[in-house]
Amino acid sequence: MPASDLQVSSEISTKHSADGGKYADGVNWDDLSFKVTPTDYIYTMKCNDGDEFSQGYLIPHGNIELCPFAGILNYGQGLFEGLKATRTEDGRIMLFRPKENALRMKMGAERLCMPSPSIEQFIDAVKQTVIANKRWVPPPGKGALYIRPLLMGTGSVLGVGPAPEYTLLIYACPVGIFHKGRAALNLYVEDKLRRATTGGAGGVKSITNYAPVYKAQKEARAKGFSDVLFLDSVTGKNIEEISTANIFILKGNVVSTPALINGTVLPGVTRKSIMEIALDFGYQVEERVIPLEDLLQAEAFCTGTAVTVNPIGAVSYLTKRVEFRTGKEALSQKLYETLSGIQTGRLEDKKGWTLEVN
Ligand code: COI
């Protein structure tokens, strides 16, 4: 580690032990949404291709320097993760299942031919990022500190292939609710554009999975819809994923979500948690192929780190529109209350899902 970075790290520990418990100035904590708010520090750790990640460190939040030849810029060799730190009423700061994000990053790194940090390195790096940006963790009940780990090929490459150097970079940002008021979504089923293909990278959190949904999203929003539901690329008949979230349906006592088998659906940490909570509630839970027609008869909701659990109010496909039950009686509301209760310390965490940071 260069001497200048060592200096930055020691300044951080002094500054934050003196500052403990205070909130960042100039933030309207009552009106957080999901938008860019730069915080104090980012974490960075580098590694050459074929080596292992070793020593990472914190640097002040700011722009990063990349060579124009960087693999991430030219060939999209990059992954991201998303997880949240929340502040409890009694002043603790908690992460939600960070090991799951570390494991998913490992899986994605393998798919994109990148080295990845160990589980311990990932969790330690996330913790350091949260502690360094502690004053940006919103007050209890006001939102969360969203932590965004990026793993990217930062080495120079022109011939198409894995970059010679990689960087894990973690930044953080205070966020509130992704869809304002957790309003029920009005989804448009995209009948032409596809999000993921069998054997592709839809099942890992590749950076390249997101920009391709913009066109469908933009067109749907122009028609008054809130987001897009994508169909499978082979038959165009089965539902797979919303642009940034997994989907669930409820019919009778059965909660179903699209299976991961084709590698086209992201293995969401919230998806996995909601399946467990629904089982605890006594529902039967299925991961399966879900034909569009099944959706057109049920309660539906979506899950993700950013959205948590959000009800779906309506789905439109071509000329057909179906409306779903939402509100206090909906299962999605009960699932949301339980999940967010565990995440914020309002409910006892009997599953060992939370990890205290401070
Ligand atoms: C998340 O829920 O953390 C995601 O990655 C979705 C994001 C693109 C907003």
Cα–Cα dist 315/156, whole Å: 45
Contacts (Cβ under 8 Å, ≥6 apart) of 326: 184, 311, 312, 313, 332, 333
305 lines ligand 1 (CB under 6 A): yes
CA distance 224 to 3: 54
Sign of the Cα torsion 329, 177, 142, 79 reads positive
Model pTM score: 0.93
Is 328 a residue of the active site? no
Instruction: Please give the pLDDT value at position 181.
Output: 78
User: In ligand 1, which atom is closest to the CA atom of 305?
Assistant: 2
Residue linked to tokens 């989804």:
187
268 ligand 1 Cβ < 6 A: no
Judge contact between 129 and 147, C-beta under 8 A. yes
Domain ranges of the chain: 3-176, 181-343
CA of 304 to the centre of ligand 1 (A): 7
| Beta carbons within 8 Å of 133's beta carbon, 6+ residues apart | 39, 40, 41, 145, 172
Would you state the pLDDT for residue 5? 39
285 exposure class (CB count in 10 Å sphere: 0-12, 13-18, 19+): middle
Which is the closest atom of ligand 1 to the Cα of 34?
9
- For residue 117, what pLDDT is reported? 98
Å from CA of 205 to ligand 1 middle: 9
**In a structure prediction context, what are the per-residue pLDDT tens digits for the chain, which is 358 residues long?**
333 333 344 344 434 444 455 899 999 999 999 999 999 999 999 999 999 999 999 999 999 999 999 999 999 999 999 999 999 999 999 999 999 999 999 999 999 999 999 999 999 999 999 999 999 999 999 999 999 999 999 999 999 999 999 999 999 999 998 887 789 999 999 999 999 999 999 999 999 999 999 999 999 999 999 999 999 999 999 999 999 999 999 999 999 999 998 899 999 999 999 999 999 999 999 999 999 999 877 899 999 999 999 999 999 999 899 999 899 899 999 999 999 999 999 999 999 999 999 7
Class of domain 181-343: alpha beta
Q: Of 115, 132, 35, 39, which Cα lies nearest the Cα of 79?
A: 115
What ranges make up the beta strands (E) of the chain?
A: 41-48, 57-60, 78-80, 83-87, 93-96, 144-153, 165-175, 185-189, 227-231, 239-242, 246-251, 254-258, 284-288, 299-304, 308-317, 320-323, 354-356
Does residue 149 line the site of ligand 1, with CB under 6 A?
no
Give the up-direction half-sphere exposure of residue 352: CA atoms within 13 A in the CB hemisphere.
2
Ligand 1 geometric centre to CA of 305 (Å): 6
| Cα 145 to Cα 22, 87, 262, distances in angstroms | 14, 9, 33
Residue 281 CB contacts under 8 Å (≥ 6 apart), including other chains? 331, 334, 335
Of 46, 99, 205, 272, the catalytic one is: 205
Q: Fold match between 3-176 and 181-343?
A: no
Domain 3-176: which CATH number of 3.40.50.300, 3.30.365.10, 3.40.50.11390, 3.30.470.10: 3.30.470.10
Q: Could you tell me which of 159, 153, 175, 129 has the C-alpha nearest to residue 78?
A: 153
Which residue's CA is minimally distant from atom 9 of ligand 1? Answer: 306
CA–CA distance, 214 with 112 (Å, rounded to integer): 22
Closest CA to 230 of 265, 201, 256: 265
- Comparing CA positions, the residue from 197, 212, 277, 287 lying closest to residue 244 is 212
Mean pLDDT of the chain: 92
pLDDT score, position 180: 79
